[in-house]
Amino acid sequence: MDRPIRVLVAKPGLDGHDRGAKVIARALRDAGMEVIYTGLRQTPQQIVNAAIQEDVDVVALSILSGAHNTLLPKVVDLLKGEGADDILVIGGGVIPEDDIPFLKESGIAEVFTPGTPTTVTIDYIKNNVKRK
Amino acid sequence: MFDKEKLAEVKEKLETFDEKTQKSLEKRPERQEKFYTGSGDEVKRLYTPLDIEDLDYNRDLGFPGQYPYTRGAQSTMYRGRFWTMRMYAGFATAEESNKRYKYLLEQGQTGLSVAFDLPTQIGYDSDHALAEGEVGKVGVAIDSLADMEILFDGIPLDKVSTSMTINAPASVLLAMYIAVAEKQGVSQDKLRGTIQNDILKEYIARGTYIFPTEPSMRLITNIFEYCSENVPKWNTISISGYHIREAGSTAAQEVGFTIADGIAYVEAAIKAGLDVDKFAPRLSFFFNAHNDLLEEVAKFRAARRLWARIMKERFGAKDPKSMRLKFHTQTGGSTLTAQQPDNNIVRVAIQTLAAVLGGTQSLHTNSRDEALALPTEDSVRIALRTQQIVAYESGVTNTVDPLAGSYYIEAKTKEIEEKAMEYIKKIDELGGAPRAIDVGYIQQEIMDAAYDYQKDVETGKRIVVGMNKFQIDEEPPKELLKVDPAVGELQKEKLAKLRAERDNDAVKEKLEALRKACEGDDNVMPYIIDAVKAYATLGEVCGVMREVFGEYQQSVNL
């Protein structure tokens, strides 16, 4: 039998806006996924360590500080370095449309901007998760 | 307030009205079965004198500028002068932000409001590993007094009032401000402004904490004490509901949790031996303004009345100024939509009206593009013009507290005051705000409300125009503000130069003196001022305090 999808919801960078991260974490949990939330101010390395340790299928990165172009690709690179590039990495937050192509090229599978219903994110994860 | 016989008559007629209406509903039902405020409280079809029959004018409302301040903090309110129009701004380097401040002052803004970048807010220099990618992004990067001198270059600090959104390292930035003023020839007793300095809401909702609760509360009371003697016109704290609301709370929670935080600060200062009437007049508040206009107006009035009563009855304050709640308002960032961003101009206008009808002392209006990025200069100008239109054209500023006496507003004011008081009682039972935060109570309550809100939006129970109704296909907006990624490198270079050129022995000596003060019981403010004057960096000063005080550990719960 399939085990539930395991998701790490993480806050890279220094911003303290965790309303979105917590709402999405609850919504994913209510959708039947197993969710681990890192709390604030996680470095890319800390996030990757947690992802490996918790054996997750998805890493969902929430960032509103504007440092997304620096920090999000780092998470992808570090996961690759660990041979864990089958983990689906997605992002969300105040991220200008112009930056999204760069993030996708860097290995962020999808970026969810303000106003996205949680159901859209849930469906995306269900349809695109690679592990399991 | 009302004659008993007349009330009985109203009651009788209301019953007839209800019966009649009920019958007509069978043919023509209302749009919804029930109606709710923005915070999810049920709203009745009609409010009458029966809803405020217990209202005692002299006891519950009184006169503006007088206890319990329900009707306003000053006697003439905006007939005397308008609120301070204060746009929160800052990005990239001190040089760039200095230009934006000068532009805003030329455009008729009347006070400055400094936004710092995240490394500054968390006490790291721009060359710290954790600062990577964050330098200059959400505010200006300040590493040392040298940056602060540039930030206020050509801005006379005896003429403007400056609000600084800085919390954990508030003592350090205030010290730098005092030092810059001194270099301009302005003595500290002439300085006017505010530091946010509200660590409890950082633990609850905003996230830029550094030190654990106890040393943080000590730093705050040290600032209260230092300023009451040396910087008497400075607002030493801005007890903030803004971020609590942004995190998803209801209006009543915003008031209840913020005032519970206020109670904790007053208790800490009294415990440290300060006289309540010596520091309380310099306490100030900071609230949010959301879209439910009438609920928001009631909220501001309820907050004023509740604080006045608590200061008088609970803390035995004697000076009326200790009981008078003054507040800054910012329009609600979380109400802005990324979809059809120009609609946000209208939301901000409604929120501006709420803040003004609620009697705010100063106001920041958000810009239309802030769900997407930091605002451009054009967007900021529209947001400032929105305030000016309400001030000069709407007419609501001509009389004090114009909505007073409305059955709905007065009933709602009472309801919010009572609900907020219930939260305060619950927090008292848990042992006060710091304890209630440690056990996650406050965060949990806010999170529950935030999740309810999200579900209501997704089920369409709550309409957000342009987002879940009246959508259009639109092009992604162009012309967003971009912060040059080179800012981080630039700040690093400035720091290297500073460290090479300053008197490093003096820096070391001042930092050692600060360390001893932190370990002992002295007020740390004079030591911090000495250190920043020797060009010790923010990261160095906070580093010493981190070593002595340790760091706060967030309790993570969903």
Domain ranges of chain B: 4-43, 62-83+166-459, 490-549
**Could you state, in order of their start, the residue ranges of all structural domains in chain A?**
6-128
> Which tokens sit at B433?
């705000």
**Which pLDDT value is given to residue B555?**
80
Contact (CB, 8 A) for B400 and B77: yes
Residues of A in contact with B125 (CB under 8 A): none
Residue with tokens 């654990």: B212
**Which pLDDT value is given to residue B76?**
98
Is the CATH number 3.20.20.70 carried by domain A6-128? Answer: no
Contact (CB, 8 A) for B251 and B39: yes
Closest residue in A to B92 (Cα) is A66
At A132, is the pLDDT very low, low, confident or very high (cuts 50, 70, 90)? low
Contact (CB, 8 A) for B258 and B243: no
pLDDT reading at A1 higher than 80: no
> Which tokens sit at B157?
């600090």
Query: How many CB atoms sit inside 10 A of residue A80's CB?
Result: 13
Nearest partner of B453 among B443, B442, B464, judged by Cα:
B464
Query: How many CB atoms sit inside 10 A of residue B160's CB?
Result: 17
Residues 6+ apart with CB under 8 A from B315: B266, B270, B276, B280, B322
Residue with tokens 């200790």: B322
pTM above 0.90, yes or no: yes
Q: How far apart are CA B287 and CA B363, in angstroms?
A: 10
Tens digit of each residue's pLDDT (9 = 90 or more) over A25-53: 999 999 999 999 999 999 999 999 999 99
Task: Name the class of domain B62-83+166-459.
Answer: alpha beta
Query: What average pLDDT does range A62-78 have in this prediction?
Result: 95
The alpha-carbon gap from B498 to the nearest alpha carbon of chain A, in Å, equals 25
Residues of B in contact with A99 (CB under 8 A): none
Burial class (CB in 10 A: 0-12, 13-18, 19+), B230: middle
Q: How far apart are CA B412 and CA B68, in angstroms?
A: 17
Which of B202, B554, B558 has the CB atom closest to A26's CB atom?
Answer: B558
Q: How far apart are CA B467 and CA B470, in angstroms?
A: 7
Give me the residues of chain B with pLDDT under 70, please.
none
Contact (CB, 8 A) for B373 and A96: yes
- Inform me whether the C-beta atom of residue B470 falls under 8 Å from chain A C-beta atoms: no
Q: How far apart are CA B85 and CA B340, in angstroms?
A: 26
Nearest partner of B534 among B493, B501, B496, judged by Cα:
B501
Residues of B in contact with A118 (CB under 8 A): 454, 458
Distance of CA A97 to the CA centre of its chain: 18
- Inform me whether the C-beta atom of residue B130 falls under 8 Å from chain A C-beta atoms: yes
Q: Do A67 and B137 touch (CB under 8 A)?
A: yes
